Structure formats: C-alpha cells, structure tokens
Amino acid sequence: MNKFIFSLGAFLGIGIYSQALQSAEIPNTSLDGVERVTQQLVAPPLLPEHTQIVVGDPRVIQIRMTVEEKEMQIEPGLTAHVMAFNGSIPGPMIVVHQNDYVELTLVNPMTNTMTHNVDFHAATGALGGGALTKIAPGQEVVLRFKAIKTGVFIYHCAPGGVMIPLHVALGLSGAIMVLPRDGLRDDQGNPISYDKAYYIGEQGFYFPKDEEGNYIQYTSTLDSMPDVLQQMRKLIPSHTVFNGSVGSMTGANALTAKVGEKVLLIHSQGNEDSRPHLIGGHGDFVWEGGSFNDDPVTDRETWFIPGGSAVAALYTFKQPGTYVYLNHNLIQAIQLGAAAHIVVEGDWDNNLMEQVRGPSAIQ
C-alpha cells in the first residue's frame, strides 16, 4: 500500500498544505473472486458495448486511457494544439453499473510535455482520484474506485493550479455513466430502456488571434499556453463545440435514429454551462444534474448543464427529418459551433404536423 501525501495548497494555490490520506495499516481491498472485465473504450459519440441491466455481483471494469498532447482540426483552416484522453475530445464514455469497481490504467507517454491526472466526479475521495493519478511523461498509474453513485458524471484532468482550467479548456474531459444495476426508471418508477445512446461532450476553446484577426499558429501546447491563459481569463471562448470540432456531428457526420426509437443523449460540459435543446423534439425524460437516483423530469423544451457536470435526456422520435440538437445559447450554437444534426428516418405523421398551405401570395 502506498503512503502518499498531496498538497491541497498547490491544488488551490493557497497556503494550506499536506494531508496524509491512506495509512500503511489499512489493508488493500481484496477483490479475489471478483469478476474482471475489460471495457474497450470507443470515441464519442459512441458508447462502449454494454448491457443496461446487469445481474450478479459487482465486477471490476478495467479500462485504459492515454493522454495525448496533439494537434487537431477545430474548424476548416484552424488546426490547434490540444490535449485528449485516448485522442478524442471529449474523452471516451465509460459505462459501468452501480457498485462496480472502475480500474483505470492512465498512461502519460514520454512524447508528452506535461503532468496529467484524472478527477472522476463519480468517485469518492482523494480529489476524485486526482491525487492518486498524477503522472509525469513516461509514467503510468493504476487507480481503482467503487462507483457507488448512479448517474452520468464528468471526469477531467486536474493537475494543479492554473493547469486545471487550462487542461480542461484544451480538451481533457470526458464522462462516465453509472447505471442502476436494474436499469433506468421513468418518473413513475417504471423501468425504461434506450434503443440507442450518444455522448456529446461540449467544449469551450480559447484560441488566441493576432491583430489581423487570424488565429495564431503555435509550435506546441507549451508555446501557446501564455496566450491561451490570457484569452481564458477574459472568459470569451473562441469556440464552443460538440465533440472537439465545428461540424463534428453535422452533415455527413450527423447522428442517426429512426421514428419510434428511444435515444439517450448524454451531454457533458467541463468548464462552461450549457442549455441543450432538440429543435422539433423534447426531452421526454431528463435526469437533471445527471443523477439516476432522482426521478427524471418530463417533457422539457430545454434543459440545463451546470459546468462541471453531465446530464442525460431520453427522447422517442416521432417524426422523420433532420433535427438540430444544440446549445440554446444560440450565439454559441451558430457562431461558435455548438450544434449537431440527428437525421431521423421513418414515416411522417400529418396528425402531428402538416403544412396546410404552402407559401403563396397573400390573399
């Protein structure tokens, strides 16, 4: 058992200092006989293979994430230095059930330049695991936590001081869904399930421009850091995007569904607030605040995501067509990029909507 100390002072930038957490006298949790499963993480908007209901005892869900300091296209004409768990912004969705153990191997390759870690909002203790996962380039670490709370939660890098908002503003956040072992329930307590689930990670970027209004090209994340920090301090994002780039889920990249399908939309935000809205549809069931322990609210037009959280909304599509799912701060949606398309196939229901007469001269 490792004995470790972390500096809260360094974390908060104030003078309080260390606190010993684990003691050498406390034995390791014995997980002998507990089933181990490796979850293959996939890039958003997809979720890893999972079942909604699980029978049997809690298991150890083994996952592996690598922090990548990399260049990524944010919009046509802008490639920027970002940071990404497993190479995607947001990081991959993790799916487990209540009381499962999440066992993460976090890797910080030698090619990186900075210290990274993970703070899981789903975890209990040690800064969400942030104090136990801090690793330098060339290191890896293994953290295990028990997912005792159900819901959708974000995770993000939080290596200390101003690096915390910076690493989140450069892309290092993702989400985990902790399902009740017997699945989801509606507002009346009846079991409900989803046919399809998508993960949308909303991301504010703060890329600086020069005097001519062109994005400044940097040689590395380190090189861009002073300017990005200055831009962040103004609280004016250059971009607010879904899944890492403008248009990541529009046009040819649109999400898909069919009339009658129940689609779960899980939406997270690391630094800023958001207000998702499905144009032409609703949130039939919305787990506000992300907790599956609370009854979902019903029939919402727009819902709210406080920065630093994830929210799940379930909708059964009733009409075909192209839906726009966006942040209903329409400035962020249209001018900064926070919009996705959902193309829904099926038969149109004239009873729900009909153009009674097309555009014609005023009579």
Q: Which residues bind Cu ion (CB under 5 A)?
A: 116, 157, 159, 167, 172
Give the CB-nearest residue to Cu ion. Answer: 157
Cβ proximity of 6 and 18 under 8 Å: yes
What SS3 state is found at 232? Answer: helix
CB of 83 to Cu ion, least distance (A): 6
CB of 63 to Cu ion, least distance (A): 17
Alpha-carbon span 331 to 80, nearest angstrom = 22
CB of 39 to Cu ion, least distance (A): 22
Closer CB to Cu ion, 115 or 319, in the complex: 115
What SS3 state is found at 227? Answer: helix
DSSP string, 130-190: GGG--B-TTEEEEEEEE--S-EEEEEE---STTHHHHHHHTT-EEEEEEE-TT-EE-TTS-
Closer CB to Cu ion, 22 or 66, in the complex: 66
Closer CB to Cu ion, 172 or 310, in the complex: 172
Cβ proximity of 263 and 195 under 8 Å: yes
CB of 285 to Cu ion, least distance (A): 34
CB of 163 to Cu ion, least distance (A): 6
CB of 325 to Cu ion, least distance (A): 29
Alpha-carbon span 346 to 97, nearest angstrom = 33
Strand order in the sheet with 321-327: 255-258, 339-345, 321-327, 276-279
CB of 13 to Cu ion, least distance (A): 16
Closer CB to Cu ion, 82 or 246, in the complex: 82
Closer CB to Cu ion, 167 or 277, in the complex: 167
230: part of which helix (H) or strand (E)? helix 221-233
Closer CB to Cu ion, 116 or 267, in the complex: 116
| Other CB atoms within 10 A of residue 287 CB | 25
Q: Quick one: tokens of 285?
A: 């069931």
What SS3 state is found at 334? Answer: helix
Cβ proximity of 63 and 41 under 8 Å: yes
Closer CB to Cu ion, 168 or 177, in the complex: 168
CB of 221 to Cu ion, least distance (A): 10
Residue in the block written with tokens 């899980």: 266
Closer CB to Cu ion, 82 or 314, in the complex: 82
85: part of which helix (H) or strand (E)? strand 78-85
Alpha-carbon span 62 to 60, nearest angstrom = 6
